[in-house]
Structure 1
């Protein structure tokens, strides 16, 4: 056994010297299905784990730094989903309330505005808003919501 142990230790030292150890793990360890099949897999939006940064970066055609600092992942069953904040996209749960303090305040100051800006409603609302006689009114639904309560259009399935 001593000879085999020495051979294995030599192989590990060589792998470390040549930087191959990160590739010694099974490829499935960084797959979405493997990640999401764990009981500890996130069902809520979390920052991208290190082992998935490259996959998320590729999916959005962004740098790994952007994936690390401005993207999130979550699991929907065994599917790995990712969201990149990009241009003010909401990666958190949506807001389906029909009464928003910011929209109400905006409409008191702009009683008949045809549009309430997202600066007042927030980027997480699912409705278009307008002002009617100083009151904020949610009009049509403009965001598709997935089963977990997220904006379906902002989340992309990551290839397995």
Structure 2
């Protein structure tokens, strides 16, 4: 058995620890950076469900509200205030996406892709056997399916909306272009 001097074992270990230590310091200094611009923020963080503590700008940036107004195809006469209230924004793949709760849209929750009926759906179908739909106040607005009653049994029908890579309904979230 060949013996190695102890320094040949210690030196490589010290070098590895030094490299890890330098890398950790670099990342921690990057982690301390803050952003007021939502577009710069999303480019930096990549993908997050909602802005974190490192985003220091307004809850709903005017640039995001204006972008959402444009995405909706709203007339110029539509007050921007409508889009400043009830708007959620997040980052996906380094880009800004926004949604406005307007007509009971579930911007704040991920899509419900489950096909297991809830107790409320079971009750509804017992009371409305054979109904060709279960209202959204029963199914919840996050479901992606058109639910109905097959006799007294709730059944998930056609899928009404697709889900994006973060788990949100694609049809209610809009990519917002940098102004």
| TM-score, normalized by the shorter chain, greater than 0.5 | yes
2:88 to 64, 72, 80: 72
Contact 1:30 1:51 in 2 (8 A): no
> With structure 2 as the length reference, what TM-score do the two structures score?
0.63
Contact 1:30 1:52 in 2 (8 A): no
**How far is the alpha carbon of 1:133 from its aligned partner?**
2.1
- Please, what is the CA RMSD of the aligned residues? 2.5
2:44 pairs with 1:44: no
Measured in 1, the distance between the counterparts of 2:47 and 2:61 equals 11
* Equivalent residues, number: 131
Distance 1:107 1:45, change over 3 A: farther
> Unaligned stretches of 5+ in structure 2?
1-35, 52-58
Q: Which moved more, 1:90-99 or 1:120-129?
A: 90-99
**How far is the alpha carbon of 1:45 from its aligned partner?**
4.2
Contact 2:68 2:174 in 1 (8 A): no
**How far is the alpha carbon of 1:63 from its aligned partner?**
3.2
**How far is the alpha carbon of 1:155 from its aligned partner?**
0.5
Larger radius of gyration, structure 1 or 2? 2
Other structure's SS at 2:137 match: helix
Measured in 1, the distance between the counterparts of 2:162 and 2:87 equals 20
Q: Quote the residue 1:94 is aligned against.
A: 111
* Structure-to-structure mapping, 1:1-160, within 5 angstroms: 30=37, 32=39, 34-39=40-45, 43-45=48-50, 48-49=60-61, 52-60=64-72, 61=74, 62-91=78-107, 92-98=109-115, 99-160=117-178
> Unaligned stretches of 5+ in structure 1?
1-28
Distance 1:148 1:126, change over 3 A: same
